[in-house]
């Protein structure tokens, strides 16, 4: 196998990113709106071209003393290379910078792989809840999707 170093930068999502973030789902434009209202921070991880390889947000509204990570997406072409871990670390730093001491997130019970990643990064499951969102279909359309989410949290100090 040949390995290529991939310099990554993390920054806030901008309107210029939206046309090239279609792969990340319909929640990305809403993330930009929520960031403008101060309800969330919404980040992108970019490769050397400056184009986003990953997107994800931290929601400030659900827990007064924590931030909730949401809508984490790494482009499928660069998964399992550490990009998601970089994104999660940057979102956790935003939570610390805001003076909050806990990260929360919910993970679909139908998708065991992300939960393994979060547990390896120090998250612990403590409950579950019913959730739903618009899910991107292979044909580019979106369809409502409901499921049970396992709730995880991680102390940040």
Ligand X SMILES: CC(C)(COP(=O)(O)OP(=O)(O)OC[C@H]1O[C@@H](n2cnc3c(N)ncnc32)[C@H](O)[C@@H]1OP(=O)(O)O)[C@@H](O)C(=O)NCCC(=O)NCCS
Residues that bind ligand X (CB under 6 A): 72-74, 79-85, 107, 111, 113-114, 116-117
Shorter beta-carbon distance to ligand X: residue 82 or 155:
82
Q: Which residues contact 117 (CB under 8 A, 6 or more apart)?
A: 84, 85
CB of 121 to ligand X, least distance (A): 9
3-state secondary structure of 99: coil
Shorter beta-carbon distance to ligand X: residue 32 or 105:
105
CB of 123 to ligand X, least distance (A): 10
CB of 48 to ligand X, least distance (A): 17
Q: Shortest Cβ contact with ligand X: which residue?
A: 84
CB of 60 to ligand X, least distance (A): 18
Backbone angles phi, psi at 100, to 5 degrees: -100, 155
Shorter beta-carbon distance to ligand X: residue 36 or 124:
124
CB of 70 to ligand X, least distance (A): 8
Shorter beta-carbon distance to ligand X: residue 36 or 62:
62
Per the CB < 8 A criterion, the answer to whether 46 and 9 are in contact is yes
Shorter beta-carbon distance to ligand X: residue 32 or 91:
91
Q: Which residues contact 62 (CB under 8 A, 6 or more apart)?
A: 68, 104
- Relative orientation angle of helices 83-97 and 112-120, to the nearest 10 degrees: 60
Rounded to whole angstroms, the Cα distance separating 155 from 51 reads 31
């Amino acid at each position: 196998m040949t390995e290529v170093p991939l310099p990554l930068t993390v920054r806030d999502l901008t309107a210029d990113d939206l046309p090239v973030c279609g792969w990340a789902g319909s929640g990305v434009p809403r993330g930009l709106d929520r960031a403008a209202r101060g309800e969330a921070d919404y980040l992108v991880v970019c490769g050397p071209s400056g184009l986003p390889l990953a997107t994800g947000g931290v929601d400030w509204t659900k827990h007064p003393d924590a931030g909730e990570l949401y809508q984490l997406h790494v482009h499928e072409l660069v998964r399992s290379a550490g990009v998601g871990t970089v994104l999660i670390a940057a979102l956790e730093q935003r939570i610390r910078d805001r003076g909050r001491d806990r990260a929360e997130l919910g993970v679909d019970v139908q998708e065991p792989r992300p939960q393994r990643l979060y547990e390896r990064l120090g998250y612990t499951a403590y409950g579950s809840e019913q959730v739903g969102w618009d899910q991107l279909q292979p044909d580019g359309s979106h369809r409502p999707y409901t499921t049970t989410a396992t709730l995880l949290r991680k102390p940040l100090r």
